[in-house]
Amino acid sequence: DGGITQSPKYLFRKEGQNVTLSCEQNLNHDAMYWYRQDPGQGLRLIYYSQIVNDFQKGDIAEGYSVSREKKESFPLTVTSAQKNPTAFYLCASTGRTGYTFGSGTRLTVV
Amino acid sequence: RKEVEQDPGPFNVPEGATVAFNCTYSNSASQSFFWYRQDCRKEPKLLMSVYSSGNEDGRFTAQLNRASQYISLLIRDSKLSDSATYLCALENTGGFKTIFGAGTRLFVKA
């Protein structure tokens, strides 16, 4: 079945540490996205990529970085510069009918 | 003013009730509209697209009012399984970005 796979499901980060969240899709979608969701809040766009080797900052890109070396993969790195990284991170891609989301990664700073 | 606004709820309704949610938007250039359903601690999933002529899928009806700049979701004969958060989303002209509302929480009780 086609879909988006995010890993890991849960991730714990120490202060000052960089961590990378994986996102892989086999839907053959060109556009991919990273969103952050905090409790009781909507989805906020971190980065998006319309095509391989190209990506743009979203509304809250500070402290994050991405790469798009392959169509199928769009990993997100949460750097030590992100001061409040504890959140639910969702990767998505778009086809003809709306967004398809991965099952998300819950990141907690310990 | 936020680009997309939803009543956060929660809406508490008995089984069998009819419930309606609205979502207002500020950008009159918005082109495409959607409703997503998000279960607790899960990813959002597309519920339905919203067309100018309105559309219905079983117990769910979505409508768009461009003059007043809002979309609505009507759920008839509510089931316990309808308990979730409902997110509205819109896409602006020529954009690859979709903007999500913060969601409306629905609890259906026996």
Q: Which residues of B touch A97 (CB under 8 A)?
A: 46, 49
Residue B93 has pLDDT above 70, yes or no: no
Taking alpha carbons only, the member of A83, A85, A81 closest to residue A21 is A85
Residues of chain A contacting B, Cβ within 8 Å: 31, 33, 35, 40-43, 45, 48, 50, 58, 88, 90, 94, 97-104
Are the Cβ atoms of B96 and A43 closer than 8 angstroms?
no
For residue A96, the model assigns a pLDDT of: 73
Q: What's the rounded Cα separation, in Å, for the pair B73 and B54?
A: 10
Q: Are B1 and B96 in contact (CB under 8 A)?
A: no
Residue (of A61, A99, A56, A93) closest to A77 by Cα position: A61
Distance from CA of B108 to the nearest CA of A (A): 19
Q: What are phi and psi of B92, to 5 degrees?
A: -90, 165
Integer Cα distance of A41 and A60 in angstroms: 14
Minimal CA separation from B6 to chain A, in Å: 10
- The values of phi and psi at residue B82, to 5°, are -80, -10
User: What residues of B are in contact with residue A43 (Cβ under 8 Å)?
Assistant: 44, 87, 100
Residue A40 phi, psi (nearest 5): 70, 10
| A10: DSSP letter | E
Q: What is the pLDDT of residues B21-79, one digit of tens each?
A: 999 999 888 778 999 999 998 999 999 999 888 899 999 999 999 999 999 999 999 99
How much is the CA Rg of chain A, to the nearest whole Å?
13
In chain A, what is the greatest distance between 2 CA atoms, to the nearest angstrom?
Answer: 40
Please report which confidence band the pLDDT of residue B91 belongs to, taking 50, 70 and 90 as the band edges: confident
Asked if B87 lies within 8 A of A43 by C-beta distance, the reply is yes
A1/B70 Cα distance (integer angstroms): 35
Could you check whether the bond before residue A8 is cis, i.e. omega within 30 degrees of 0? yes
Q: How far apart are CA A22 and CA A6, in angstroms?
A: 5
Distance of CA A58 to the CA centre of its chain: 11
Which residues in chain A show pLDDT less than 70?
1
Which positions in chain A touch B102 (Cβ < 8 Å)? 40-42
Band the pLDDT of B88: cuts 50, 70, 90: very high
